[in-house]
Amino acid sequence: MQIVKGHWQLIAITLAVFMLWQTPLMLPLKILVVFMHELSHAIAAWITGGSVESISVSPRQGGLTITRGGNGFLLTSAGYIGSLLIGVLLFTAALRSRADRQMMAVLGVVMLVVTGLYMREIFALAFGVAAGAAMLASARFLSARVNDLALRVIGLTSMVYVPFDIFDDTIARSGVESDAYAMSQTYGGPVMFWGGLWLLISLLVIWNSLRRLGRNSNI
């Protein structure tokens, strides 16, 4: 009972995400998580000496990042794990910090900069500009509590989406082209091995993050 009382908002958000998962209301958040996935590939390329040619997301929740150079193993692994870590970072920062409006503004600036530099397709451009502008407007005009809630929703959605996406792409449909398929083709091993490994890592990261919530995570 104490757990429910101390974390009822988190429980409510989680239930809402699962209940609305297959509805159009979740589509912008799903595409935002895809953007985080592709951005993670880009970050891995940058930090391992590579460069990024373009980034794209689609209304069908697909994405593509074209890079040159960098460490192929880390770059390929970064999509799922990187977007999970971004989600954990946003969620944890919202819980622990009061700088919610500043964090939302930074997220909006990142969206707009990445969109302007690397996105070329019409949908990706429109989504990036709209999402970035909405984040900046939220930071400027809405309260810290609203921004805190928005960051929690974004972070939690990313945390929920990643293991689901890993399972769907690499275990339930192991024959489709995915990051795990690319790992299998380049480094050997079955697709399900890489998918299972990433799924295990993602679940451990999520468990560890939730374990550190403390007695009360409500706003």
Amino acid at 9: Q
| Range 70-88 average pLDDT | 91
The answer to the question of residue 133 being in a domain is yes
- Give the torsion sign (CA, 184, 185, 186, 187): positive
The answer to the question of residue 130 being in a domain is yes
The answer to the question of residue 96 being in a domain is yes
The answer to the question of residue 104 being in a domain is yes
Q: Are 155 and 89 in contact (CB under 8 A)?
A: yes
| Range 78-90 average pLDDT | 91
pLDDT at 90 over 80: yes
- Report the alpha-carbon distance of residue 109 to residue 116 in Å, rounded: 10
The answer to the question of residue 28 being in a domain is yes
Amino acid at 48: T
The answer to the question of residue 151 being in a domain is yes
- Per-residue confidence (pLDDT) for residue 1, from 0 to 100: 60
Query: Of all residues in the chain, what percent carry a pLDDT higher than 90?
Result: 51
Mean pLDDT, the chain, rounded, equals: 88
The answer to the question of residue 52 being in a domain is yes
Question: Which range has the worst mean pLDDT, 7-11, 143-147, 188-192?
Answer: 7-11
Question: Structure tokens of 29?
Answer: 């958040």
- Per-residue confidence (pLDDT) for residue 16, from 0 to 100: 86
pLDDT tens by residue, 112-136: 999 999 999 999 999 999 999 999 9
Report the chain's terminal Cα–Cα distance, integer Å.
18
pTM: 0.89
Listed residue (145, 60, 73) closest to 104, CA to CA: 145
The answer to the question of residue 1 being in a domain is no
Range of the domain at 172: 24-211
Number of structural domains found in the chain? 1
- Per-residue confidence (pLDDT) for residue 166, from 0 to 100: 84
pLDDT tens by residue, 25-56: 889 999 999 999 999 999 999 999 999 999 99
pLDDT tens by residue, 152-190: 999 988 888 888 888 887 777 656 677 888 888 888 888
